[in-house]
Structure 1
Amino acid sequence: MKKVTEYFEKYREASRHLRNIYYVPKDDDVWDILDDFEEVSVLLFKHLVCAPLNIGYEKYDWFNESISCFKLQAQGSRLPIMINRIPNVNHGYWDHEIHTVDPDDLTLDFICYFDWNPQGVIDNRYIMCKISGAKVSKNVIGHIALVESHYVEIHHAGHS
Structure 2
Amino acid sequence: MPNAGPALSEYLEARQHLWNVYFRPKVHDLRNVILDDFEQIDFLLFKSIVCSELGILLPDKFVLGQDCVPDIKVMPKSAVDETLVMTEKDFNNGTQTWNAPAVVAVRGLKLNFIDFFQWDHYGVLSMAHVLCRTSPSSQHQIAPNSLIVVEKKDFDFLV
Give the TM-score range, shorter chain: 0.7 to 0.9
Name the SS of the counterpart of 1:121 in structure 2: coil
Return 5+ residue gaps in structure 2 as ranges. Answer: none
Residues 58 and 70 of structure 2 are in contact (CA less than 8 Å); yes or no, is this contact kept in structure 1? no
Return 5+ residue gaps in structure 1 as ranges. Answer: none
Name the SS of the counterpart of 1:140 in structure 2: coil
Name the count of aligned residue pairs. Answer: 152
Q: How does 1:39-118 map to 2 (within 5 A)?
A: 39-59=40-60, 60-75=62-77, 76-86=80-90, 91-95=95-99, 99-118=102-121
Name the SS of the counterpart of 1:20 in structure 2: helix
> Among the aligned pairs, what percent are the same residue?
26
CA–CA separation in structure 2 for the residues paired with 1:79 and 1:148: 7
| C-alpha spacing 1:58/1:140, structure 2 compared with 1 (3 Å) | closer
CA–CA separation in structure 2 for the residues paired with 1:51 and 1:67: 13
Shift in Å at residue 101 of structure 1? 2.5
Runs (4+) of structure 1 exceeding 6 A deviation are none
Shift in Å at residue 104 of structure 1? 2.8
Shift in Å at residue 30 of structure 1? 4.9
1:6 corresponds in structure 2 to 6
Deviations 1:100-145 (A, max 9, x none): 22223221111111221112111122111111243131x5222211
Name the SS of the counterpart of 1:69 in structure 2: coil
Residues 27 and 35 of structure 2 are in contact (CA less than 8 Å); yes or no, is this contact kept in structure 1? no
TM-score, normalising length: structure 1: 0.83
| C-alpha spacing 1:135/1:28, structure 2 compared with 1 (3 Å) | closer
Over the aligned positions, Cα root-mean-square deviation in angstroms equals: 2.2
* Range 40-49 or range 17-26, more displaced: 17-26
Name the SS of the counterpart of 1:2 in structure 2: coil
CA–CA separation in structure 1 for the residues paired with 2:31 and 2:125: 14
TM-score, normalising length: structure 2: 0.83
Shift in Å at residue 95 of structure 1? 1.1
| C-alpha spacing 1:141/1:57, structure 2 compared with 1 (3 Å) | closer
CA–CA separation in structure 2 for the residues paired with 1:31 and 1:95: 31
